[in-house]
Amino acid sequence: MMNTTLYSSDLFLIEGGVKLRGKVRVSGAKNASLPIMFATLLTKEGSVIENVPHLLDVDSASELLKKLGARVERLEDRLLIDPEGVNSWETPDEIVKRMRASVLSMGPLLGRFGRARVALPGGCSIGARPIDQHLKFFVSAGADVQVKEGYVNVEIGKKRGVEFRFDLITVTGTENALLYLSTVEEKSVLENIAVEPEVMDLVEVLRKMGARIEVEGRRAVIWGSSELRGFVHRVIPDRIEAGTLMVAAVLTDGDVTLEGVELGHMEEVVEKLMEAGAKIEPIGREKVRVRRGGRPNPIEIVTREYPGFPTDMQAQMMALLSVTEGKSMIYESIFENRFQHAYELMKMGANIDVRGRSAFVYGVEKLRGAEVNSTDLRASASLVLAGLVAEGKTVIRDIYHLDRGYERLEEKLNSLGASIERLPQILS
Ligand code: EPZ
């Protein structure tokens, strides 16, 4: 049998035990960049998006925009998008499969062409993640929605304003609705919306394009326009990357200064880290110094929609709590299956008891290096954090999960003194 080797992804080889020290700049937010990239479809005019991170998900979104007929150029951290040539309203399955946020093309394509054909995103490892709320909104807005052969076909005749209340808080559901309603010249009202900083960054962009949007609590009133304009916008910092780097500093008993951070977007994360024993000292508007204040303390975390504790920081905190003296509890209220990382952390010696949506973490003295697998984006971040502090070597496979949402994470951590080697993963 010929010994074929397939490069399915990269792997990380981490030598644990280094205290991180130094300064690192936080990149732009992935989950703001993606909806804002799709907002460019709402007009024929060109747009410039600044502070866009180099991520696989951003590459996938760029590829989709080009498939739809737009021109996309990247210059350093800027994306120049010319959507004039967009002549398709179909988002193919092979892109949606790779990046479920492609469903955000539905609202803009329906707004621009009166129709959209988008492949249904399957479930993923953290949960079923249906899009029923997105479709329920489009139906209430007067669209004809048909699900056939794995695709959603949406069509609308005469656009009209709508009053719609989401049954549950959904980030991309809210964004899809805002993107579409920005093209509807009548007044619309959305109730029970998501208000994550990334959603509000999209609102800023839609206002720059000419939509009038007023947000009060979880209620938005929108007056759209049929003549939306191009925009220039600098994406907000990535609060989840910033939180991940903060955990790395505390976990390794380091002393790290983050630059280009927006602490106003991460109050709950800062509060929980301080409760766990971190020393977090703001320096001016966009800098913060992070150290550990003695051995971390056990804490309780319940993930919630913003402004609650973000589910996207849950896996990273579990790595920290794994080496914290005493029993901690994590309750994951957003996704039904977001504890995959617990089983990988256990291979490194963590003592975690997973019961449904609760995980009880019994802190251990030390983690030990092991061979572990990435299962999803934030789980892989959690394993990198554990590898930084584990005794000996840790191998983390399928690093493409990490590359979807973190810009050169190993370079940032190595600049702080970590020892992470990226190697091709050879499957034989
Ligand atoms: C966004 O996903 C983020 N992705 C996720 O970040 C994040 O974890 C999530 O919001 C929660 O904050 C992007 O912004 C691109 P939801 P989204 O719709 O919009 C259920 C990361 O790590 N639901 O707010 O898909 C759903 O199953 C990623 O960067 C329905 O039941 O999340 C989930 O349990 C992972 N029906 C909950 O609501 C719907 O129609 C929240 O989902 C929509 C959602």
Which tens digits make up the pLDDT trace of 365-409?
999 999 999 999 999 999 999 999 999 999 999 999 999 999 999
CA of 271 to the centre of ligand 1 (A): 23
Q: In which residue are the tokens 């759209």 written?
A: 224
- Collect contacts of 213-216 with beta carbons under 8 A, ≥24 apart: 213/178, 213/182
Query: Could you tell me the residue ranges of all domains in the chain?
Result: 6-27+237-427, 30-234
CA of 100 to the centre of ligand 1 (A): 10
The predicted pLDDT at position 1 comes to: 43
- Predicted confidence (pLDDT) at residue 6 exceeds the cutoff of 60: no
- Tens-digit pLDDT profile for residues 83-122: 999 999 999 999 999 899 999 999 999 999 999 999 999 7
CATH fold, domain 30-234, is UDP-n-acetylglucosamine1-carboxyvinyl-transferase; Chain (3.65.10)
Mutate which of 167, 171, 202 for ligand 1 pocket (most atoms within 8 A of beta carbon): 171
Residue 423 known to be catalytic: no
Ligand 1 atom closest to the Cα of residue 194 is: 24
Ligand 1 atom closest to the Cα of residue 57 is: 15
The predicted pLDDT at position 425 comes to: 87
Residue identifier of the C-alpha nearest atom 25 of ligand 1: 172
Distance of CA 58 to the CA centre of its chain: 11
Residue 311 Cβ < 6 Å to ligand 1: yes
What mean pLDDT is predicted for residues 343-360? 98
| CA dihedral (38, 43, 46, 49) positive or negative | negative
The predicted pLDDT at position 313 comes to: 98
Q: 244-272: string of b/e by CB count within 10 Å (b at 16+)?
A: bbbbbbbbbebbbbbeebbbebbebbbeb
Q: Compute CA distances 327 → 251, 269, 361, whole Å.
A: 17, 19, 6
Same fold, 6-27+237-427 and 30-234: yes
SS3 119: strand
pTM as predicted: 0.96
CA of 171 to the centre of ligand 1 (A): 6
What mean pLDDT is predicted for residues 23-46? 98
Q: Per the structure block, which two tokens stand in for 241?
A: 């990357």
- Tens-digit pLDDT profile for residues 143-192: 999 999 999 999 999 999 999 999 999 999 999 999 999 999 999 999 99
Q: Which amino acid is at 126?
A: I
Q: Which amino acid is at 276?
A: A
Q: Compute CA distances 123 → 100, 130, 338, whole Å.
A: 9, 7, 13
Distance CA 7, CA 25 (A): 31
DSSP 240-281: HHHHHHHHHHHHTT-EEEEES--GGG-HHHHHHHHHTTEEEE
- What does the chain come to in residues? 428
Mutate which of 30, 31, 200, 235 for ligand 1 pocket (most atoms within 8 A of beta carbon): 31
Residue 57 Cβ < 6 Å to ligand 1: no
CA of 170 to the centre of ligand 1 (A): 6
Q: Report yes or no: 242 and 266 within 8 Å, Cβ to Cβ.
A: yes
Residue identifier of the C-alpha nearest atom 7 of ligand 1: 312
SS3 293: coil
Distance CA 11, CA 175 (A): 34
The predicted pLDDT at position 235 comes to: 98
Residue 303 Cβ < 6 Å to ligand 1: no
Distance CA 404, CA 101 (A): 12
Q: Report yes or no: 315 and 126 within 8 Å, Cβ to Cβ.
A: no
- Predicted confidence (pLDDT) at residue 299 exceeds the cutoff of 50: yes
Residues 6+ apart with CB under 8 A from 411: none
Q: Report yes or no: 232 and 47 within 8 Å, Cβ to Cβ.
A: yes
Q: Report yes or no: 156 and 112 within 8 Å, Cβ to Cβ.
A: no
Residues 6+ apart with CB under 8 A from 148: none
Q: In which residue are the tokens 């509807």 written?
A: 184
Distance CA 233, CA 253 (A): 37
The predicted pLDDT at position 9 comes to: 84
- Predicted confidence (pLDDT) at residue 198 exceeds the cutoff of 50: yes
Q: Per the structure block, which two tokens stand in for 108?
A: 């803009």
CA of 193 to the centre of ligand 1 (A): 13
Specify the DSSP element, H or E, that contains 189. Answer: strand 187-191
Task: Pick 6-27+237-427's CATH classification: 3.20.190.10, 3.20.20.140, 3.65.10.10, 3.40.640.10.
Answer: 3.65.10.10
Residue 31 Cβ < 6 Å to ligand 1: yes
Catalytic residue among 48, 80, 124, 364: 124
Mutate which of 96, 133, 170 for ligand 1 pocket (most atoms within 8 A of beta carbon): 170
Q: Which of 23-32, 119-128, 254-263 has the lowest mean pLDDT?
A: 119-128
Cβ count within 10 A of residue 285: 9
Residues 6+ apart with CB under 8 A from 177: 107, 134, 137, 141, 164, 190, 193
CA of 419 to the centre of ligand 1 (A): 33
The predicted pLDDT at position 123 comes to: 76
